[in-house]
Amino acid sequence: MPLQVSNYSWQQTSTAVFISVPLRGVSVRDADVFCTENYLKVNSPPFLFEVFLYAPIDDESSRAKIGNNIIVFTLHKKEAAMWETLSLSGVDKEMMQRIREKSILQAQERAKEAMEAKAVARREDQKYTLGVMMKIEEEERKKIEDMKENERIKATKELEAWKECQRKAEELKIIQREEKLYHQEKQMKEERKKLKHKCLTGNSASKNLATKGRNSENIFFEKLKEDSIPAPRSVGSIKISFTPRVFPTALRESQVAEEEEWLHKQAEARRAMNTDIPELCDLKEEEKNPEWLKDKGNKLFATENYLAAINAYNLAIRLNNKIPLLYLNRAACHLKLKNLHKAIEDSSKALEILIPPVADNANARMKAYIRRGTAFCQLELYVEGLQDYEAALKIDPSNKIVQNDAEKIRNIIQGTELESK
């Protein structure tokens, strides 16, 4: 049985109570002090001191000082008033037990609240740390993009300077070629003048021969002039006979009308494609293939040139908007560029095309759910994001990475609910 301490002393003011409890050999390590607003207990084996207080106190601001075989309590009253006695009078064992149990419950609730507050503070610290890390990563990414842009501008300027040098060199070659032709032509004219002068100053003794020579010379030059002009093309007509279309089926089963309608639609589609997409005018024939554009976009994505990859996927989608991988890959680019709403739209469009859900398109559907769920989570729409991750787990339940991400999202949602409570 513990020894009840009764030789204590106490004093009071209107706002505080001071209690001195002598305990032989008491130390901070061995003393167990329990205090609530209506109950105070000290357990230091073999001694026990407890008191059921006359009025409520502020147990959070109250203090206890242990040393020199004595414990001194400083208890602050909740209401400023003088107490008639330190402890309640007329308290039986049943009432003492109720007060003890109530005090223990209050202490437990307070400890629980303290733990919850500490957990909330820890989550806030984690959230703040995550935000700081994301900000640092964003700054690093922007710095890298600025470096890439500067390098691109530098390379573009160097290319333009090289093109300008090539253009000037080409112009210089043209000028030199024209000068050379001009000198050759001038030399030929001088030679013709010399030849003409020799012919005119041949033999002045015979006038008839000179006149004949001049006439023959004029005839020779006229003949050369006539020979240099080609003869006009003769008029004629060419007959072309086309092989008649022969359908092997009977006339009642013929599909001539359907074929003609299909050809008409194809021609209209080609005309619409050529008019609606002016970018196709500068492309080669192989570059107008959506599959080629998709592979080009994938290569650009691998080099982290996300804007160029999006342009490639955009043109491929305009050529054929029924390929789900184009929307999936463009959603991945939008995620990298933090265009979260566009990533959600492309992932949803891919899921609309990937119907019916079969085993062949299971991998594509899982990617679409994961990318849309990631975009939702980055927008802090964790409930929608968890739904998409759970849909991905239904497709591949054994995927550990998706399981871990879904568990993290559940923890975030539970932490948000605790904060709202």
Return the pLDDT at 212.
43
Q: How many CA atoms lie within 13 A of 376 on its CB side?
A: 21
Q: How many CA atoms lie within 13 A of 264 on its CB side?
A: 6
CATH 1.10.230.10 applies to domain 3-88: no
Q: How far apart are CA 354 and CA 348, in angstroms?
A: 10
pTM for this model (two decimals)? 0.38
**Which has the closest alpha carbon to 347: 326, 316, 378, 318?**
326
- Segment 6-25 mean pLDDT: 86
Return the pLDDT at 60.
84
Per CATH, the number for 287-414 is: 1.25.40.10
Residues 348/387, Cβ–Cβ less than 8 Å? no
The domain ranges of the chain are 3-88, 91-189, 287-414
The pLDDT tens digits for 167-222 are 999 999 999 988 888 888 888 888 888 877 766 665 444 444 344 444 433 434 44
Return the pLDDT at 203.
47
Q: How far apart are CA 155 and CA 166, in angstroms?
A: 16
The pLDDT tens digits for 318-373 are 888 889 999 999 999 999 999 999 999 999 999 999 988 888 899 999 999 999 99
- Segment 238-244 mean pLDDT: 72
The pLDDT tens digits for 38-93 are 888 888 888 888 888 888 888 888 888 888 888 898 989 888 888 888 887 777 77
Domains 3-88 and 287-414 share a fold: no
The pLDDT tens digits for 270-285 are 545 554 556 666 667 6
What are the Cα distances from residue 286, in Å, to 271, 299, 307, 318? 18, 17, 22, 16
Please give the backbone phi and psi of residue 303, each rounded to the nearest 5 degrees, phi first: -90, 10
